[in-house]
Structure 1
Amino acid sequence: MIRTFRALSALLTYPDAELQAAIPDIRQVLEDEQLVARETLEPMLTRLETGKLLDLQVDYVDLFDRTPRLSLYLFEHIHGDSRERGQAMVNLHALYQRHGLEIGGRELPDYLPLFLEFLATRPLDEARALLGETVHILAALRQRLEERDSGYALVLQALCGLADRPPAPQALTKLRDLPDADPETLDRAWAEAPVTFGPACTATEQPIIFDRRKPSTAPS
């Protein structure tokens, strides 16, 4: 179990009294595993630990629930609400199940904190490689949060540092510049080879797409 991924997952969840009480434990995990520098996250840790809970909750909702460009649902940034997002989530859910992770009915598989919980169960090299497949999304989120002077940018910065590769500049630029929830623009911008992650697919398994593909020209 890579507890750092679980700690970062917790920091990206809706703040409540339980999270505030867990901040000392999160600090200790970061110190013990030394995968990210605790000092870089300290401003956000302190804010979550000592801030007024209602203010923290309002800020969280304004950022992640009311701002599509900051959504913590990874596939929204590359598939929008298209049919491809549904299939991508089915494939990601299947990946979780193959490795023994069962999720409840309330959460979608592409929710970033849930994805990090899954990574916590994988060997470090594999987790870093899987995270690397999403690094262009994480880097775009980090930049957007930095533009809002949000401490959550520090969490995304830590995740980018854990990935096994930097974001490809072209992919990051395309994703960063996309307008909110515009499927036609997403189709044009991501008309290139898809990126998949996970083990090689069998005849019955489908790749998980973390880039936008060309829309099908077949009639519906």
Structure 2
Amino acid sequence: MTTITFKALSALLSYPTAELQQAIPELIVALDGEALISGSIRRQLDGLLNEIATGDLYDLQERYVLLFDRTRSLSLHLFEHVHGESRDRGQAMIDLKSLYESNGLEIRAAELPDFVPLFLEFLSTQPRAEAYELLAQPAHIFQALAERLRKRHSAYEAVFRTLVSLAASKPKGEDVSALLALPDPDADDLEALDAAWEDEPVNFGPNATSCKDGIVAKIRAGRRPAPGVATAASRPVISHS
């Protein structure tokens, strides 16, 4: 049974497009229909929904890039926060991709499996209890992202608060604190950003990836269509299945 809420959250974390803006009413219907989110978190999520629906598209896109593409501490790639560019990251990518494929989700060669919108799209295809269990594994990352976005007064904070609230178990405080202790430069601090993205030692071997390849993959991932949101060629649809 598809959990449409995860598809909606995946769409909200995708690169803003005119099609996504037009699909916001359908996302609201989907979220309210499943009613997995309530209270203050649901009201907070309304802020992001309204911001995307009514905001200037170019401003939305620029803000998205500054937050998630330019700022390493806000990366939407899960393993960026726990493995960086180490060899362990390569094996983790392989394992996650295998998990997707064993459950019937094929991804394009250019996509990185740890991209959060893709991960949420996968969760939407799983039984709800299993999805909540899988969601708990990176919950400390989502909690740290929520805190960093709160500091920036970003409405995207609501998505990560939602994910933590849905996880089968809550993140350990020490795990969240360890992530929050890492550098978190402002997107306008170019010197600090350069230092944060400074290349780590290159690892050779079957699991090694080059910095250039990683950046290209991240850019492509960030521009992948939101799940269930049609491209300009057809009407936007969020469908239950």
Q: TM-score range by the shorter chain?
A: 0.7 to 0.9
Which residue does the alignment assign to 2:178?
174
- 3-state secondary structure, aligned to 2:176: helix
Segment of structure 1 superposing worse, 5-14 or 173-182: 173-182
Q: TM-score, normalised by structure 2?
A: 0.74
Percent identity reads 51
* C-alpha distance in 2 between matches for 1:6 and 1:181: 30
Which residue does the alignment assign to 2:17?
16
- 3-state secondary structure, aligned to 2:165: helix
Match of 2:115 among 99, 111, 114: 111
Which residue does the alignment assign to 1:3?
4
Deviation at 1:36, TM superposition (A): 1.0
Q: State the 4+ residue runs in structure 1 displaced beyond 2 angstroms.
A: 37-40, 179-184
Deviation at 1:40, TM superposition (A): 2.8
Which residue does the alignment assign to 1:199?
none
Deviation at 1:106, TM superposition (A): 2.1
Which residue does the alignment assign to 1:93?
97
Kindly provide the amino acid, as one letter, of the partner of residue 148 in structure 1: R
* C-alpha distance in 2 between matches for 1:174 and 1:183: 21
Is the 1:136–1:172 Cα contact (8 Å) retained in structure 2? yes
* C-alpha distance in 1 between matches for 2:94 and 2:197: 21
Is the 2:44–2:155 Cα contact (8 Å) retained in structure 1? no
Q: What is the number of residues matched between the two proteins? A: 184
Deviation at 1:176, TM superposition (A): 1.3
- 3-state secondary structure, aligned to 1:84: helix
- 3-state secondary structure, aligned to 2:154: coil
**CA-atom RMSD, angstroms?**
1.4
Kindly provide the amino acid, as one letter, of the partner of residue 4 in structure 2: R
Which structure's relative contact order is higher, taking Cα pairs within 8 Å and 6+ residues apart?
Answer: 2
- 3-state secondary structure, aligned to 1:75: helix
Kindly provide the amino acid, as one letter, of the partner of residue 36 in structure 1: I
* C-alpha distance in 2 between matches for 1:134 and 1:151: 21
Deviation at 1:7, TM superposition (A): 0.1
Query: Superposed, which structure 2 residues align to 1:55-70 within 5 Å?
Result: 55-70=59-74
Query: Superposed, which structure 2 residues align to 1:15-94 within 5 Å?
Result: 15-37=16-38, 38-94=42-98
Q: TM-score, normalised by structure 1?
A: 0.81
Q: Which runs of 5+ in 2 are unaligned?
A: 184-195, 201-241
Query: Superposed, which structure 2 residues align to 1:158-197 within 5 Å?
Result: 158-179=162-183, 180=196
Deviation at 1:181, TM superposition (A): 5.8
